[in-house]
Structure formats: structure tokens, C-alpha cells
Amino acid sequence: MPAIKEKIKIGGIKLSSELVQLNLMYQGTSSFPASYFFQILTKNQINMPFVSTSFLGGRLQSSCCILPENLGRVKELVQSEDKLKGEIEFIHSVGMVSLFPHQYRLKVLGIVLYALGSTRLPLYGMSSSISALTFITAYSKLDAAVVSLAEYMNLPLNHSPFTPGTP
Amino acid sequence: MEIAAVYWESKIKIYGFNHAVNLSLLKMTVETEQMAKMGLCISKLDDLGIGFHLVMAQHSNNHKLHLYLLSSHPWDEKGLKNINKEIRADAESPVQVVSPVELIYFQGPHFGDRYGIAYSAFRILENKNITLLLAGCSGSVIYLVLPEGGAKNAEPFLAEAFEVP
Amino acid sequence: MSDKQLILVVDDDPDLVESLSMKLESEDFRVAKAYDGVEAWDKIKEEKPALILLDVMMPRKNGYEVCNEVKEDPQYQDIIVVLLTAVGDAVTSTSYTHMDGKKNLADDFIPKPIDLDDLMEIVKDNLE
């Protein structure tokens, strides 16, 4: 398989704290289960720093990330809701990596997929924003993900990927 | 040092709404082992000058990766066939295109640190029976992908719920 | 070298940096970007901007520190510093609230969420 040779310049990388990912998958004609799920989290003041939802061809998938300290409460809430019981998959200990700016270039996405895929690092989710491309991988592999990306990206000289809590 | 700002607003303030119409939503599904190959294919699309409005990926528990690419590129059959071949798309779910679709997105301070913001948008669309095809919220932006006509329908209702200074 | 004035936008929210940059560029300014206080200092030394739009809550070095360092340095103290801050009425829980009373030397401030028209007015007024 040919490799990506061109290095691209980016402004920075941001890493999240440890998170838990929740996936809700449903086959049906309505996106109602996703909305209901997010309603429950909102009512309980649970923040989701990442959310994605797709509803195409009768297949609904919603994913979100929460802080680990909210996991027990979310599990209780899900268990007490007949509509959600058994429908949620939990992926423990994940982290987000944000690269910026992506400049709306598919090269950045291509490099992320190539770098993670060729080093067998998991990709649990992804979403772009105005400037950043954010993806989710195993929390224990965040550093490995940065090393793998750095092979194809030039970062500013004094940049160190920062996390919440960076002093 | 704590850098998160935690606060609650009865009406969520945003910087304003943006939208784009006449877009194509491309969905590609591959086995996760094919991810690197998919990366190379996507990289080639960049060489052809194709950009994006939104990209999103979801992982399903049967080791499949679903990649969504929202762009203004008009995909033709030949182009799709090439992508299918290059990424070795999952035989059960070849590359699909939904077109035309529309995008509405908005940004606000500390969206990622505060609860209930994405739900406020989803609730409005559901109450007004506006179909949501795709939503992505990371950083401080919420993206909503809607069928044709959806952005025009949704914006006045969203504008009631969110405050633009 | 372009005669357009250079503005340095500093915020750890890359999306906000991008939005502000696009607005400033559309109004004929040149823009440099930094995503934390340490990078901001590098850009200040490298490019000596006419004005800095500076977030307060940032990793590595916060906006108050950067602002005071700029204003206490004879080589850079003529650079106009405008603080971007959500530290206001709405914020109830942040370690920066304890700094509310601290005197900082900024030339102006803009509360978040930013009204882009107000922003342009403040930038232009300060550069006059």
C-alpha cells in the first residue's frame, strides 16, 4: 500500500481528559430514541463534550462522551428507562484528539484515517467543527495517536499538545 | 489550573446562524481494518480539490466504521464507483449519496463545557417535525444536516430558542 | 510587506479563533493566530502586531499574565490589548473569578459571546 508522503502544516493539537463513550443504535422510522436519551442526560445536567447522531435509511446511531464521574448515574438512568435498557453500548476510557485548523482540507481527514489505521489505533468517533477535526480513540493511546499523526504533520516549534488542566 | 467555565443561561447565546444548501452527503462504510486504505482514498480526493463542510465518523460494534462526508461536490456514478473500489467498501453497504441536503450550524462560547445545548437544538427540530439526517457537535459548534428545505424551515424556530447578541 | 494592520487573535478555542480571523480578514486586516499564552508571546515577538485580541482563560499562560507582561515591557507596551472574556455575570464557577478584582492593564475588553459588529467597532476605535 502506498504511504502518504506529503507533510501538512497544522496549528495545534488538543487532547481531552478521560471520557466514557456511549453509543445508542436503533433500527426504526424515528429518531425519537436519540432525542429521548439526550433529554434524560440534559435533565440530569450531564455534559456531553462530543455528540454525533446519524439517521439514514432507517438506521439511527447516536454517540456521545461523558465524564467518568457521571458514568454511575448514567447507568442507573439507562437501567430505569425501559426504552433504553440494553440499547446503550459503553466504551470505557476514551479520549478526544482535536487537530486545528483543518482548513476544510480532506488531506487532514485522510491523514488521521491513515495514521490510525496503519498503527492499528482505534477510531470510535469523529466530527469536524469550524476549525478543528476531533476524533475519539482509546485514552491510553492518546500519546501514541499524537506520535503517529506527527509523522505526517508539522506542528509549530514550541507547541505541546495541551489538555484541560495544563498549567 | 481549572480552565472550564461552568454556567447556565436560560436562553443560550450564540454567535449567529450559518447555513449552506445544495450539498451532498456521502456515506462510506468499511471494516475497521480498511481504515488506512480509506485514508489514502480520502487524501486523493483532496488532491482533486474536493473539500468538505462537515465530516463525521461513527464506529459500530461489528467492527465497522461509517464515515460521513458533507460537501458541495456533485458526485457522479463513475466517481462513486472509483471510491467503492479504492476503499473496498463493505459489500452490504456500498457508498451512498443523499443529495441535495442542507446544513445549518452555529457556534457559542464554551459549548463543550456546558450541558443541554445539543439537546435544545434536537428538541426544537423534533417538536417541529423537521427530520434530522446528521448532527455533529464538537468544539464549540453544533452542525445539523437536514433534507432539502430543512435549513429555511428550521432557522426561525432555532432563532427563538437561541439568542444572537 | 503589506500595509494592512496585523492583529493577533489568541484563544484556546480554535473555532473562535477561526471565526474572528475570518471577520477581521474580511475587513482588510492581516491576522496571526495563537492558541495559548505561550504561543501568543512567540507571535508577539516574531510579528509585533498592532493589536491583540486576547482570551483570558487559557492553558499554559492565561490572558491576564500575557497582557500584564506586554504592558510592562517597554518594547511591546504600545501594542493595544483587548481582552476577550466570558468572566462576567454569567460565570459562577471558574478559578478566574478570584482574579476579577486584580488590576490588569488591558486597553479594552469585549465580553463573550462576541457581537462581531461590536468587535469591529472596538478594534477600529482602538487603532485610530
Average of per-residue pLDDT values in chain C = 85
Rounded Cα distance, B133 and B103, in Å: 10
Q: How is domain B12-20+101-163 classified at the CATH fold level?
A: Alpha-Beta Plaits (3.30.70)
How confident is residue B120, by pLDDT bands cut at 50, 70 and 90?
confident
Q: What's residue A4's pLDDT?
A: 78
For every residue of C59-115, DSSP letters joined together read SSS-HHHHHHHHHH-TTTTTSEEEEEE--STT--B-TTGGGTTS----SEEEESSPP
Q: What's residue A96's pLDDT?
A: 96
pLDDT of C97 strictly over 60: no
Q: Tens of pLDDT along A63-74?
A: 999 999 999 999
Collect all residues from A whose CB is shorter than 8 A from any CB in C. 11-12, 14, 98, 100-101, 129-132, 156, 158-159, 162-167
User: Which residue of C39, C55, C92 to mutate against A (max A Cβ within 10 Å)?
Assistant: C39
Who has greater pLDDT, C84 or B139? C84
How confident is residue B8, by pLDDT bands cut at 50, 70 and 90?
low
User: Which residue of A10, A47, A166 to mutate against C (max C Cβ within 10 Å)?
Assistant: A166
What mean pLDDT comes out for the span B57-75?
93
The answer to whether the Cβ–Cβ distance between B140 and C112 falls below 8 Å is no
Poorest-pLDDT segment among A57-66, A88-97, B116-125, C83-92? C83-92
Ranges for all domains in chain A classified under CATH 3.30.70.260: 9-17+93-154, 21-91
**Across-strand partners of B142?**
B106, B137
Q: How is domain C6-127 classified at the CATH fold level?
A: Rossmann fold (3.40.50)
B161 touches chain A (CB under 8 A): no
Q: How is domain A21-91 classified at the CATH fold level?
A: Alpha-Beta Plaits (3.30.70)
Percent of chain C whose predicted confidence (pLDDT) is above 90? 61
Who has greater pLDDT, B65 or B108? B65
CA distances (Å), origin B115, targets A38, A66, A67, C5: 10, 10, 12, 39
Q: How far off is chain C from A135, nearest CA to CA, in Å? A: 15
Q: Tens of pLDDT along A107-153?
A: 999 999 999 999 999 999 999 999 999 999 999 999 999 999 999 99
Report the phi/psi class of residue A86: left, alpha or beta, with left for phi > 0 and alpha for psi in -120 to 50: left
The answer to whether the Cβ–Cβ distance between C36 and A162 falls below 8 Å is yes
Who has greater pLDDT, B70 or A57? B70
Percent of chain A whose predicted confidence (pLDDT) is above 90? 65
C19 touches chain A (CB under 8 A): yes
Q: What's residue B115's pLDDT?
A: 73
Of A48, A49, A130, the CB nearest to B107: A130
Question: Model pTM?
Answer: 0.90
ipTM: 0.93
Poorest-pLDDT segment among A89-93, C6-10, C45-49, C56-60? C56-60
pLDDT of A160 strictly over 80: no
Ranges for all domains in chain B classified under CATH 3.30.70.260: 12-20+101-163, 24-97
pLDDT of B4 strictly over 50: no
Superfamily in which the A9-17+93-154 domain is placed by CATH: ACT domain (3.30.70.260)
Q: A114-129: b or e for each residue (b if 16 or more CB lie within 10 Å)?
A: bbbbbeebbbbbbbbb
Exposed, middle or buried, C32 (CB in 10 Å: 0-12/13-18/19+)?
A: middle
Q: What's residue A21's pLDDT?
A: 97
**Residues in chain C closer than 8 A to B13 (CB atoms):** 113
pLDDT of C93 strictly over 50: no
How confident is residue A164, by pLDDT bands cut at 50, 70 and 90?
low
What mean pLDDT comes out for the span A28-39?
81
Q: What's residue A162's pLDDT?
A: 64
pLDDT of C73 strictly over 90: yes
pLDDT of B70 strictly over 80: yes
Average of per-residue pLDDT values in chain B = 87
Superfamily in which the B24-97 domain is placed by CATH: ACT domain (3.30.70.260)
What mean pLDDT comes out for the span C74-81?
96
Of A131, A156, A165, the CB nearest to C14: A131
What residue spans define the domains of chain C? 6-127
What mean pLDDT comes out for the span B26-35?
93
Q: For residue B39, what is the nearest residue in chain A, using CA coordinates?
A: A110
pLDDT of C98 strictly over 50: no
What mean pLDDT comes out for the span B25-31?
94
Instruction: Name the C residues in 20-49 with CB < 8 Å from any B CB.
Output: none
Of A1, A50, A129, the CB nearest to B140: A129
User: Residue C122: which of A156, C111, C113 has the closest Cα?
Assistant: C111
Q: What's residue C111's pLDDT?
A: 83
What mean pLDDT comes out for the span B8-20?
79
